[in-house]
């Protein structure tokens, strides 16, 4: 099933057993934040938009799972904005620094503008 709009604040810092993870996701990680982002990327319809809260570690992580997922986001989607949220915005539930990613799946992947500007705040 494909969706035109996805808004999400998925759980962070969780890990799933490798045998319970779908094989068709664009990541080989066990980390919940990477898996959720992968599911959202796959579930987005052409022309659809997604806004998702992610831990900043997803933006700067150096594992192959982090870099591969970021590369897919930049090559297959229009990244529209990265909004850094203040530290402690989700306290007392979570103290991790977060950001909101806003992206769109292009209607025609061949017309993806790789030089489009991304709004950072």
* Backbone φ/ψ region at 109: left (φ over 0), alpha (ψ -120 to 50), beta: alpha
- CATH classification at residue 63: 3.40.50.150
| In the block, residue with structure tokens 């620094």 | 97
pLDDT class for 26, splitting at 50, 70, 90? low
Is residue 114 over pLDDT 80? no
**What integer is the mean pLDDT of 57-69?**
90
What's the domain range around 115?
3-120
Whether the pTM exceeds 0.95: the reply is no
Chain segment 83-109, per-residue pLDDT in tens: 999 988 888 777 789 999 999 999 887
Is residue 54 over pLDDT 90? yes
Given CA atoms 9, 57, 103, 117 in this order, what sign does their dihedral have? positive
* Lowest-pLDDT choice from 9-18, 20-29, 70-79: 20-29
Task: Specify whether the CB–CB gap between 103 and 79 falls below 8 A.
Answer: yes
For the chain, what is the domain count? 1
């Amino acid at each position: 099933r494909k969706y035109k709009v996805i808004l999400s604040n998925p759980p962070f810092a969780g890990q799933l057993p490798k045998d319970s993870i779908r094989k068709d996701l664009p990541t080989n990680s066990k980390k919940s934040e990477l898996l959720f982002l992968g599911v959202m990327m796959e579930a987005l319809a052409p022309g659809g938009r997604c806004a998702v809260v992610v831990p900043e570690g997803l933006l700067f992580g150096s594992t192959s799972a982090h870099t591969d997922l970021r590369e897919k986001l930049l090559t297959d989607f229009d990244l529209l904005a990265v909004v850094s949220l203040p530290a402690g915005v989700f306290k007392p539930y979570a103290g991790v620094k977060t950001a909101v990613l806003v992206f769109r799946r292009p209607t025609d992947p061949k017309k993806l503008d790789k030089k489009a500007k991304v709004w950072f705040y």
